[in-house]
Amino acid sequence: MPDPSGPPPRDERLAGYRRAQVVFTRPDGGRLTVRPAARPGPYPCGASPVHVLTAHNPGPERPGDAENRRRQRALEADLAAAGLTVVRAVASAPDGTHAEESAAVVGWDDAAALALARRHGQDALFRWSAEAWEVVPCDGGPPLRSGWTVERG
């Protein structure tokens, strides 16, 4: 039986991804909030897909705010070194009780996105396209697909 005071097991962590909303900060400062839903909503991105990944709380680790910020800066440096354009994003619980700074990359390759997420110890990443909002496990498990809603702000 898992230690109730320890980190949540993998399936519980993936369920957290599935419930999460992602707030993207557009270059003009506006915000776009995507939430999972039963059906696909409007897809406002010209290029597809959009991958959203973080370096916070890798796997079962919960290293604390300072270490999470350091790891996120390292992830963003890896993205910049690859010549990718990053849009700031925050993935959070719908009620706001938990949030993780994230990076969104438009038009990136799935294999490269997953490889970088694995290198940073992540369980999964988000993949958004005109067809689906997906939680894609880094261990090769099947994507958890849903539709989405979009709120502009």
Task: Look at residue 4 in the predicted model and tell me its pLDDT.
Answer: 57
Q: Examine residue 65 and state whether it is found in any structural domain, yes or no.
A: yes
Task: List pLDDT tens digits, range 23-65.
Answer: 999 889 999 999 999 999 999 988 789 999 999 998 888 889 9
40 burial via Cβ count (<10 Å: 0-12, 13-18, 19+): middle
Domain housing 145? 10-152
Contact 1, 109 (CB under 8 A): no
Q: Examine residue 1 and state whether it is found in any structural domain, yes or no.
A: no
Q: Examine residue 4 and state whether it is found in any structural domain, yes or no.
A: no
Task: List pLDDT tens digits, range 70-113.
Answer: 999 999 999 999 999 899 999 999 999 999 999 999 989 999 99
Contact 101, 56 (CB under 8 A): yes
Q: How far apart are the first and last CA of the chain?
A: 44
- pTM comes to 0.90
Q: Examine residue 78 and state whether it is found in any structural domain, yes or no.
A: yes
Q: Examine residue 2 and state whether it is found in any structural domain, yes or no.
A: no
Number of domains, the chain? 1
Q: Examine residue 77 and state whether it is found in any structural domain, yes or no.
A: yes
Residues whose CB falls within 8 Å of the CB of residue 138, separated by 6 or more in sequence, listed in order: 114, 117, 118, 122, 123, 124, 125
